[in-house]
Amino acid sequence: MEYSNYNKNAAKKYGADDYGMRKYVMAFLKRGPDRVIEKEKADELQRAHLDNISKMAEEGKLVLAGPFFGDGELSGIYIFNVSSIEEAEKLTSTDPAIKAGSLVMELKEWYGSAALMAVNEIHKTIAKINI
Protein backbone atom coordinates (compact mmCIF):
# COMPACT_ATOMS: atom_id res chain seq x y z
CA MET A 1 0.00 0.00 0.00
CA GLU A 2 1.47 3.36 -1.03
CA TYR A 3 0.72 6.68 0.62
CA SER A 4 -1.14 9.08 -1.63
CA ASN A 5 0.88 12.04 -0.35
CA TYR A 6 4.29 10.52 -1.21
CA ASN A 7 6.78 13.24 -2.17
CA LYS A 8 9.54 11.82 -4.37
CA ASN A 9 11.67 14.97 -4.07
CA ALA A 10 11.50 15.00 -0.26
CA ALA A 11 12.30 11.28 -0.13
CA LYS A 12 15.38 11.88 -2.27
CA LYS A 13 16.43 14.99 -0.30
CA TYR A 14 16.30 13.15 3.03
CA GLY A 15 17.74 9.87 1.75
CA ALA A 16 14.60 7.84 2.41
CA ASP A 17 14.14 4.27 1.30
CA ASP A 18 10.74 3.00 0.11
CA TYR A 19 9.51 2.91 3.71
CA GLY A 20 10.55 6.53 4.37
CA MET A 21 13.37 5.27 6.58
CA ARG A 22 17.18 5.40 6.58
CA LYS A 23 20.19 4.26 8.60
CA TYR A 24 21.72 6.45 11.29
CA VAL A 25 24.19 5.87 14.10
CA MET A 26 22.84 6.60 17.57
CA ALA A 27 25.14 7.52 20.43
CA PHE A 28 24.13 7.03 24.03
CA LEU A 29 26.05 9.54 26.14
CA LYS A 30 26.88 8.15 29.56
CA ARG A 31 28.49 9.75 32.56
CA GLY A 32 32.24 9.27 32.34
CA PRO A 33 34.78 8.46 35.03
CA ASP A 34 36.24 11.98 35.19
CA ARG A 35 33.31 14.21 36.11
CA VAL A 36 34.29 17.82 36.67
CA ILE A 37 33.39 19.03 40.16
CA GLU A 38 34.42 22.71 40.04
CA LYS A 39 31.49 24.76 38.73
CA GLU A 40 33.63 27.10 36.60
CA LYS A 41 35.42 24.22 34.87
CA ALA A 42 32.19 22.26 34.49
CA ASP A 43 30.49 25.29 32.88
CA GLU A 44 33.45 25.78 30.54
CA LEU A 45 33.38 22.12 29.50
CA GLN A 46 29.60 22.24 28.95
CA ARG A 47 29.98 25.34 26.74
CA ALA A 48 32.63 23.57 24.64
CA HIS A 49 30.39 20.47 24.45
CA LEU A 50 27.43 22.56 23.21
CA ASP A 51 29.62 24.38 20.69
CA ASN A 52 30.78 21.03 19.31
CA ILE A 53 27.17 19.87 19.03
CA SER A 54 26.30 23.03 17.05
CA LYS A 55 29.32 22.53 14.76
CA MET A 56 28.39 18.92 13.96
CA ALA A 57 24.77 19.94 13.31
CA GLU A 58 25.86 22.75 10.97
CA GLU A 59 28.04 20.25 9.08
CA GLY A 60 25.00 18.01 8.62
CA LYS A 61 26.60 15.16 10.58
CA LEU A 62 24.45 15.46 13.70
CA VAL A 63 20.72 15.05 13.16
CA LEU A 64 19.53 15.21 16.74
CA ALA A 65 20.99 15.71 20.20
CA GLY A 66 19.61 16.19 23.65
CA PRO A 67 20.01 15.41 27.32
CA PHE A 68 17.93 13.06 29.43
CA PHE A 69 16.20 14.42 32.52
CA GLY A 70 17.48 13.33 35.89
CA ASP A 71 20.89 12.37 37.17
CA GLY A 72 21.19 8.77 36.01
CA GLU A 73 24.02 7.06 34.16
CA LEU A 74 22.53 7.93 30.76
CA SER A 75 23.15 11.60 30.11
CA GLY A 76 21.86 12.13 26.56
CA ILE A 77 21.77 11.00 22.94
CA TYR A 78 23.17 11.94 19.56
CA ILE A 79 21.79 10.69 16.27
CA PHE A 80 24.43 10.91 13.56
CA ASN A 81 23.91 11.17 9.82
CA VAL A 82 26.80 8.83 9.01
CA SER A 83 27.10 5.46 7.34
CA SER A 84 29.22 3.66 9.93
CA ILE A 85 30.04 3.38 13.60
CA GLU A 86 33.66 4.17 12.73
CA GLU A 87 32.67 7.53 11.26
CA ALA A 88 30.57 8.29 14.35
CA GLU A 89 33.54 7.38 16.56
CA LYS A 90 35.64 9.98 14.75
CA LEU A 91 32.95 12.60 15.37
CA THR A 92 32.50 11.68 19.03
CA SER A 93 36.25 11.96 19.55
CA THR A 94 35.96 15.70 18.74
CA ASP A 95 33.69 16.28 21.74
CA PRO A 96 35.52 18.10 24.56
CA ALA A 97 33.46 16.25 27.20
CA ILE A 98 34.54 12.91 25.71
CA LYS A 99 38.17 14.04 25.56
CA ALA A 100 38.00 15.12 29.21
CA GLY A 101 36.43 11.82 30.30
CA SER A 102 33.32 13.56 31.58
CA LEU A 103 31.22 11.56 29.09
CA VAL A 104 31.60 8.22 27.34
CA MET A 105 29.57 7.02 24.37
CA GLU A 106 27.99 3.79 23.28
CA LEU A 107 27.31 3.70 19.53
CA LYS A 108 24.63 1.64 17.75
CA GLU A 109 23.42 1.57 14.16
CA TRP A 110 19.76 2.58 14.06
CA TYR A 111 16.99 2.52 11.44
CA GLY A 112 14.60 5.45 11.74
CA SER A 113 12.47 7.91 9.82
CA ALA A 114 14.33 9.89 7.16
CA ALA A 115 12.19 12.86 8.23
CA LEU A 116 14.61 13.34 11.12
CA MET A 117 16.94 14.91 8.55
CA ALA A 118 14.64 17.96 8.64
CA VAL A 119 14.89 18.47 12.41
CA ASN A 120 17.81 20.93 12.41
CA GLU A 121 16.23 23.02 9.66
CA ILE A 122 12.92 23.19 11.52
CA HIS A 123 14.59 23.73 14.91
CA LYS A 124 16.18 26.96 13.67
CA THR A 125 12.72 28.35 12.99
CA ILE A 126 11.29 27.59 16.44
CA ALA A 127 14.21 28.26 18.82
CA LYS A 128 14.02 31.69 20.39
CA ILE A 129 17.46 31.34 22.04
CA ASN A 130 20.48 29.81 20.34
CA ILE A 131 22.55 27.49 22.53
Number of domains in the chain: 1
Measured distance CA(103)–CA(74) in Å, rounded: 10
Strands 103-113 and 74-80: unpaired
Provide the pLDDT for residue 2: 67
C-alpha closest to that of 60 among 108, 129, 112, 120 = 120
Residue 116 lies in a domain: yes
Residue 62 lies in a domain: yes
**pLDDT tens-digit readout, 43-63:** 999 999 999 999 999 999 999
Residue 131 lies in a domain: no
Query: Please, which pLDDT band fits residue 1 given cuts at 50, 70 and 90?
Result: low
Q: What is the CATH number of the domain that holds 44?
A: 3.30.70.1060
Q: What is the mean pLDDT of residues 5-16?
A: 94
What domain range includes position 29?
16-126
pLDDT surpasses 80 at 41: yes
Q: What is the mean pLDDT of residues 4-22?
A: 94
Question: What is the DSSP code (8-state) at residue 68?
Answer: P
- The whole-chain average pLDDT of the chain stands at 92
Residues 6 or more apart from 21 whose CB is under 8 A from it? Answer: 111, 112, 113, 114
Residue 53 lies in a domain: yes
Query: Please, which pLDDT band fits residue 37 given cuts at 50, 70 and 90?
Result: confident
Provide the pLDDT for residue 38: 85
Global pTM?
A: 0.87
Residue 21 lies in a domain: yes
Residue 44 lies in a domain: yes
Measured distance CA(33)–CA(111) in Å, rounded: 30
Residue 76 lies in a domain: yes
Provide the pLDDT for residue 36: 67
Residue 69 lies in a domain: yes
